[in-house]
Copies of this chain bind each other. A is one copy, B any other.
Amino acid sequence: MIPFRFHNPVNVVFGRGAAANVGQEAVQYGRKALLVYGQASLKQSGLYDRLVLSLQQAGVAVVPFGNVQANPLLSHARQGIALAKAEGCDLVVAAGGGSVLDTAKGIAGGAGCDIDPWDVLSKGTPFTTALPLVTVLTVPAAGSEMNCGFVLTDDVASGIKGGGFGGSPVFPKVSILDPETTLSVPPGYMTYACADVMSHLLEKYFTASSTWTPVQDRLIEGLVLAAMECLAAIHADPDALSPREAFMWNATLAWNGLPPCGLGGSTPAHLIEHGLSAVFPRIAHGEGLALIQPTWLRWFAMRSPARPARFARAVFGVDVACDTLAGVEGARRYLDFLARFGGPRDWSGCGVAEADLAAVARSASQLAQVWGMADAYPEPLILEILKMALSANLKPAPVDAS
């Protein structure tokens, strides 16, 4: 195992109806909250009003800051920082999915210590202090509710989508996970969420530099199988709460730093996807991962087959003796699994042409510098994998008899 430090101080409050208690949690950390949220859906569902009521009843004044978009923008986070400072907020409350929580981390850090979020993401400088952050998660996927990472696109200058860790100060103090808030997420979007969760669990599993890691391997395989079981149950009955609930907890566990402890490894599909959705912000992060991860896995299985083969056997029951063939078959089943629930079987529907891929590769390779992955994933290699994904998946996959 690779030496590691694991320290995750987030206080997770999980349960049906828990969102209504946001005020009691928040008032322990501040009296004037910048309430960060996204689009109109939070208001349409009535959740926005319930949160404001709970905060106000607990004695927490609310300064609303909405309009966070998917693939959130640096310029918007900076507006939030300015507003939090101007209003004298001593607390940030985030209500939404990963984009909202990530924006809120940028604001909490930027308003708390005068370090700009882009310095954190482009130079790896962590925030030294931050306004306390309380989150209410409504879209389970990114895992932002139980880590100190965040992703923003620099729409001001470089156009790069940057992702990184903001340091201990931007761990949420409290994250409220109320599965009832997720019932409005369409099943098709849950497939993208599942692609994100599976990628979070599997990237370092595939690329681990440790050799004998049965604990992490079985833990990760178990969580991957559970995520798949949940997704199937959500599609079977989108109104049932239990599958939503289980998936929500699975998504949090997938990217809270614990599953890959000791593995080493890196996150190449996330790297390439951030390039894709930086250039094409209309592509959701999970959709982008569904477009990239299976192809990356097939490419990787042909070079380093042991881990992909283990995955194929443990998760999909692939019964093939040759590691390379097993790994490639695992990649095919990965794609097929997501496609069965509305994920993209190929790139034909995403509106990306081969001529666009150079810009995607360039954006990803800039992030690779920050992530220390530039040697393993130089720009030409990223472009090669992208071309493989764009073209190879256009061939219809064989019918899955499993």
Complex contacts, A15 vs chain B, CB 8 Å? 1-4
Interchain CA distance A223-B214 in the complex, whole Å? 9
User: Can you name the residue of chain B whose Cβ is closest to the Cβ of A230?
Assistant: B214
User: Can you name the residue of chain B whose Cβ is closest to the Cβ of A228?
Assistant: B214
User: Can you name the residue of chain B whose Cβ is closest to the Cβ of A210?
Assistant: B242
User: Can you name the residue of chain B whose Cβ is closest to the Cβ of A178?
Assistant: B3
Complex contacts, A246 vs chain B, CB 8 Å? 1, 212-215
User: Can you name the residue of chain B whose Cβ is closest to the Cβ of A17?
Assistant: B3
A102 at the interface (CB under 8 A from B): no
Check A14–B261 contact: CB distance below 8 A.
yes
A225 at the interface (CB under 8 A from B): yes
Complex contacts, A9 vs chain B, CB 8 Å? 7-9
Residue from B212, B230, B249 within 8 A of A262 (CB atoms): B249
Complex interface residues of chain A between 184 and 232 (CB less than 8 A to chain B): 211-219, 221-223, 225-227, 229-230
Check B215–A223 contact: CB distance below 8 A.
yes
Check B261–A249 contact: CB distance below 8 A.
yes
Chain B nearest Cβ from A331, distance in angstroms? 22
Chain B nearest Cβ from A119, distance in angstroms? 25
Check A226–B215 contact: CB distance below 8 A.
yes
Complex contacts, A214 vs chain B, CB 8 Å? 225-226, 229-230, 246
Complex contacts, A245 vs chain B, CB 8 Å? 1
Check B229–A225 contact: CB distance below 8 A.
no
Complex contacts, A92 vs chain B, CB 8 Å? none
Contact with B along A3-44 (1 / 0, CB 8 A): 111111111111110100000000000000000000000000
A269 at the interface (CB under 8 A from B): no
Complex contacts, A219 vs chain B, CB 8 Å? 219, 222-223, 226, 253
Residue from B1, B7, B223 within 8 A of A10 (CB atoms): B7
A277 at the interface (CB under 8 A from B): no
A250 at the interface (CB under 8 A from B): yes
Interchain CA distance A224-B139 in the complex, whole Å? 31
Decide: A262 near B14, CB < 8 A? Known: A218-B225, A218-B226, A250-B215: yes
User: Can you name the residue of chain B whose Cβ is closest to the Cβ of A219?
Assistant: B222
Complex contacts, A212 vs chain B, CB 8 Å? 242-243, 246
Interchain CA distance A242-B217 in the complex, whole Å? 14
User: Can you name the residue of chain B whose Cβ is closest to the Cβ of A249?
Assistant: B215
Complex contacts, A247 vs chain B, CB 8 Å? 215
User: Can you name the residue of chain B whose Cβ is closest to the Cβ of A4?
Assistant: B14
Check A215–B14 contact: CB distance below 8 A.
no
Complex contacts, A217 vs chain B, CB 8 Å? 226
Complex contacts, A18 vs chain B, CB 8 Å? 3
Complex contacts, A243 vs chain B, CB 8 Å? 212
Complex contacts, A2 vs chain B, CB 8 Å? 15
19 CB < 8 A contacts A-B: A1-B249, A3-B18, A5-B14, A6-B11, A7-B11, A7-B12, A8-B8, A8-B9, A9-B9, A212-B242, A213-B246, A214-B230, A214-B246, A215-B247, A217-B226, A218-B229, A219-B219, A222-B222, A253-B258
Q: Which residues of A contact B (CB under 8 A)?
A: 1-16, 18, 179, 211-219, 221-223, 225-227, 229-230, 242-243, 245-247, 249-250, 253, 258, 261-262
7 closest A-B pairs by CB: A3-B15, A222-B222, A218-B222, A7-B11, A9-B9, A215-B226, A214-B226
